Amino acid sequence: MKLYDTAIVGGGIAGYTAALTSKNLLLDYIWFGEEGFGDKLRLAEKITNFPTVTGDGADFAKRLNAQMGSEKIALTPKRIDGIYRTGDNFTLSHGGELYLARTVILATGVEAGGRIRGEKEFLGKGVSYCAVCDGALYRGKTVAAVVSSPKFEAEVQYLAQFAKNVFFIPLYRGSALSGGNIAAVEKRPVAVEGESRVERLVLEDGVLKTDGVFFLKNSVPPAALAFGLETEEGHVKVDRALKTNLAGLFAAGDVTGRPYQYAKAAGEGCVAAHSVRAYLREFLRK
């Protein structure tokens, strides 16, 4: 398996700047994320606080896309579902595919709305953030899928191949997904409950009996992605060099905390790539 200098996780402005800086520093990088720089950039109405950008998010994305082409920045359009330390390096997984890197830059953004009661406590005991990783565990069982964006509906259909029943709970309007063993439930979830494992999803109005709950959203809590990562009030704890408590793992952008702004995210993407280079120089000297 190829060993990269760094794996950048997150396709927004922080991840992009980390990739651009990595390229300029001659680091052998792999950059994971969705194409188009993410909703938070693409859907902004008007941008007045980023150098040279005066239009909307779509215009900003167009400029970044043009630069990505001219600078030959490569994006691997995949979601990473786990980051594990393996010896001196990190293994990153996407479904069954594995990638190996000496360092990681986490630039996964933050999810508005945070977590509901029980979501954290039952992680790995019926709560999951990845249908393709854990869906097969629910063969013949009942699962609930709390879904933040239409782009995750394919994952709900994936779950339906294994589960007997799927409660589909979209947190947005206008979905037509239902039928067969998928039942759409348009009520907000408020808590996950059970004894030692998930048994119920409590809604604002009612309760669903379920064996598992999948939260399918843009940014999963960072500590759920990288085991042992220290966080504080939902943000990754970093120092000024954007080092985390895990040697070789850096974080940049909204994931490290406020202010949630493009300029701060872009600056941190740049700093994180420089910190990777400094870390690798030190590491390779040993």
Q: Residues in the site for ligand FAD, rule: CB under 6 A?
A: 9-15, 32-34, 38, 40-41, 43-44, 47, 49-50, 79-80, 107-109, 218-219, 225, 253-254, 260-263, 265
CA 116 to chain centre: 17
Structure-block tokens of residue 113 = 């709305």
Shortest CB 171 distance to ligand FAD, Å: 15
Comparison of 6 and 219: residue with beta carbon closer to ligand FAD? 219
Residue 115, by phi and psi: left (phi above 0), alpha (psi -120 to 50) or beta?
A: beta
Shortest CB 113 distance to ligand FAD, Å: 12
Shortest CB 271 distance to ligand FAD, Å: 13
Quote helix, strand, coil % in the chain, to nearest 5.
30, 30, 40
Shortest CB 12 distance to ligand FAD, Å: 2
Comparison of 210 and 219: residue with beta carbon closer to ligand FAD? 219
The H helix count followed by the E strand count for the chain is 7, 16
Residue identified by tokens 């048994």 is: 199
What CA–CA distance (Å, rounded) separates 222 from 229?
Answer: 7
Shortest CB 112 distance to ligand FAD, Å: 7
- Helix or strand (DSSP H, E) at 131: helix 131-134
CA-wise closest residue to 124 among 134, 113, 116, 115: 134
What CA–CA distance (Å, rounded) separates 99 from 181?
Answer: 34
CB–CB of 83/98 below 8 Å? no
Comparison of 101 and 182: residue with beta carbon closer to ligand FAD? 101
Shortest CB 90 distance to ligand FAD, Å: 13
Comparison of 79 and 182: residue with beta carbon closer to ligand FAD? 79
Cross-strand bridge partners of residue 163: none
Comparison of 94 and 141: residue with beta carbon closer to ligand FAD? 94
Comparison of 167 and 262: residue with beta carbon closer to ligand FAD? 262
